[in-house]
């Protein structure tokens, strides 16, 4: 565990979050730049969070949905139209 002081959330939220995840051993950096590998405790936490949310959504009559518009906004409309057409 690192003895370095964590930045505050107000100073640098992104770095604070990354350091909390790394120090709690929920994930590690992957060999691919910009990627992280979720460790077993991190995966268990993720599964518990999604199960709790799924049960709450189901209780209110909501279902799961995947929206392609998110892809369109991330890649630009032209790229999305080309992919859709083809």
- Which among 61, 63, 67 has a CA at the least distance from the CA of 80? 67
Query: What is the C-alpha separation between 10 and 66, in angstroms, rounded?
Result: 33
Identify the helix (H) or strand (E) that includes residue 29: strand 27-29
Whether pTM exceeds 0.75? no
pLDDT in tens, the chain (86 residues): 567 899 999 999 999 999 999 999 999 999 998 889 999 999 999 999 999 999 999 999 988 776 655 554 555 566 656 666 76
């Amino acid at each position: 565990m690192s003895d370095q002081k964590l930045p505050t959330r107000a100073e640098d939220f992104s770095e604070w979050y990354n350091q909390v995840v790394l120090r709690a051993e929920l994930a590690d950096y992957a060999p691919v730049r910009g990627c992280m590998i979720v460790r077993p405790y991190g995966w268990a936490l993720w599964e518990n969070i999604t199960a709790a949310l799924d049960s709450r959504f189901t209780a209110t009559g909501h279902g799961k949905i995947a929206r392609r518009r998110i892809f369109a906004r991330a890649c630009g409309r032209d790229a999305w139209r080309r992919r859709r057409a083809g």
